[in-house]
Chains A and B, each alone.
Chain A
């Protein structure tokens, strides 16, 4: 596939790895922010090619993983109603709520559907005027333009049976929260390339400056990730700390203006609670007042549903890069993708799922043999 295969070339991988080995003289800890990057790193074994001084820790960039239990419970409450068709990306269905998950709601006869795009949910609303269609709008900045468009079109068409349960979160405030911890050990960041395709990277410049940390906008293919690592360690070895774009084929500094304009129309920045990180000011989106009629939390009056995060799951530490999934005592024992204790073991971007699939699970065994 063009714009994919070129970035998996073994000779070029060897060359960049050699350059990284030549550059590094001291120990450095880097965080790749996006869960998609974590999965690429483990799938291709990139961490095992790096010098032992370079440690990669995995960041909070998995929207399914950071969605608080409370919102999962609210989703379950809405999806359980007989008049509702509840639409979600597939990842969300098996994330455990306090007592249930969306898949069990579906098994009991609830109308829960997996969709590829929020526009599929919108189509369903047009086709089912006697039902109320709710879309679980989960995601980072990458997904916000798509979800904003669905709401915008629904308003324009005057659809009254469509609403969204918003769980949108933003990357820079989460990084700010992680780096502001007194014992933060992260020295370089691989910033999420597809988030930056939408937002650009100007918002990361104050982060790099305030925390004296290199921030490298990085893609998802093996050579993209290795070039990101090389750029970060090169800056660190030279004592530099700036934002650098290693994904210029997809990202420009100012981002996607048309997408940002739609986000600004439909959403307002709001405080958000993150699973594992707690409440972070101005770290997400809520619907703008003009679109309040499409807010499923208001439409179905579920804001009183509250929940306490379970203590047995240590996903919070994993999402902060403080605990390697395989160091959790429940990993692969009481917590597996079939019976997850938390979202990081379910999501296709969750760090625990990545370690399970590529380092201990059946695929790892198949690859090893």
Chain B
């Protein structure tokens, strides 16, 4: 039940506790309440849980995580160019 899915905010309407928006999940769009992510703008990614955005995805943090993973992946290529674990 704590499933939350990342999606891209495509429009925003209303403000304060009535702030709502359309969120695109790889082509499927749904309304979500954006009241808890007042900093979010159109184009941002949010995590949506039961119709509520509970968090804005921090793109900078995501980039850092992926860079660390890419570094490990490159190391893996050097150690085991044929792949397979």
Given contacts A3-B6, A249-B61, A349-B1, contact A256 B70 (CB under 8 A): no
A352 within 8 A of B: no
Contact yes or no, B55 A119, CB < 8 A: no
A-B contact pairs, 26 of them (CB 8 A): A1-B25, A3-B45, A3-B62, A9-B73, A10-B83, A12-B72, A12-B73, A14-B83, A14-B84, A15-B75, A36-B3, A63-B1, A91-B1, A117-B50, A118-B50, A118-B51, A142-B54, A145-B52, A194-B47, A197-B47, A227-B69, A248-B58, A248-B61, A248-B65, A251-B55, A256-B36
Contact yes or no, B54 A145, CB < 8 A: yes
Given contacts A138-B1, A256-B54, contact A2 B45 (CB under 8 A): yes
In the complex, A348 Cα to B84 Cα: how many Å? 31
Which label, helix, strand, loop or mixed, suits the secondary structure of the A interface? Answer: helix
**B2 CB, nearest partner CB in chain A, Å:** 4
**B52 CB, nearest partner CB in chain A, Å:** 4
Residues of B42-74 at the interface with A, using a CB-CB cut-off of 8 Å, are: 45, 47, 49-52, 54-55, 57-59, 61-62, 64-66, 69-70, 72-73
A61 within 8 A of B: yes
B65 contacts across to A, CB distance below 8 A: 227, 248-249
In the complex, A82 Cα to B59 Cα: how many Å? 50
A34 contacts across to B, CB distance below 8 A: 2
**B1 CB, nearest partner CB in chain A, Å:** 5
Residues of B1-30 at the interface with A, using a CB-CB cut-off of 8 Å, are: 1-4, 6, 8, 17, 25-26
B49 contacts across to A, CB distance below 8 A: 142-143, 146, 194
Chain A residues within 8 Å of chain B by Cβ, number: 61
A89 within 8 A of B: yes
**A156 CB, nearest partner CB in chain B, Å:** 8
Beta-carbon contacts of A234-262 to B below 8 Å, as 1s and 0s?
A: 00000000000000111110001011001
Contact yes or no, A153 B69, CB < 8 A: no
In the complex, A89 Cα to B36 Cα: how many Å? 21
From B37, B54, B73, B79, residue with most partner A Cβ within 10 Å: B54
Given contacts A2-B8, A119-B33, contact A14 B85 (CB under 8 A): yes
Extra contacts, 10 of them, besides A117-B51, A250-B58 (Cβ < 8 A), are: A1-B25, A2-B8, A4-B6, A15-B69, A18-B79, A61-B2, A142-B49, A194-B2, A197-B54, A227-B65
Given contacts A14-B80, A18-B85, A152-B17, contact A143 B73 (CB under 8 A): no
B47 contacts across to A, CB distance below 8 A: 194, 197, 250
Q: Which residues of A contact B (CB under 8 A)?
A: 1-4, 6, 9-19, 34-36, 49, 61-64, 89, 91, 116-120, 138-140, 142-143, 145-146, 149, 152-153, 192, 194-195, 197-198, 220, 223, 227, 248-252, 256, 258-259, 262, 347-349
Given contacts A153-B17, A250-B58, A259-B54, contact A12 B3 (CB under 8 A): no
In the complex, A352 Cα to B84 Cα: how many Å? 31
In the complex, A189 Cα to B49 Cα: how many Å? 23
**A129 CB, nearest partner CB in chain B, Å:** 21
A139 contacts across to B, CB distance below 8 A: 1-2
Contact yes or no, B51 A14, CB < 8 A: no
In the complex, A194 Cα to B36 Cα: how many Å? 14
Chain B residues within 8 Å of chain A by Cβ, number: 42
Contact yes or no, A64 B85, CB < 8 A: no
A248 contacts across to B, CB distance below 8 A: 58, 61, 64-65
Contact yes or no, A14 B76, CB < 8 A: yes
Which residue of the partner chain, among B35, B61, B62, contacts A149 with CB atoms under 8 Å?
B35
A9 contacts across to B, CB distance below 8 A: 69, 73
The chain B residue with its CB closest to the CB of A153 is B17
The chain B residue with its CB closest to the CB of A198 is B54
**A78 CB, nearest partner CB in chain B, Å:** 20
Closest CB pairs A-B (n = 4) = A117-B51, A15-B76, A15-B72, A248-B61
B64 contacts across to A, CB distance below 8 A: 248
**A44 CB, nearest partner CB in chain B, Å:** 13
Contact yes or no, B52 A149, CB < 8 A: yes
**A12 CB, nearest partner CB in chain B, Å:** 4
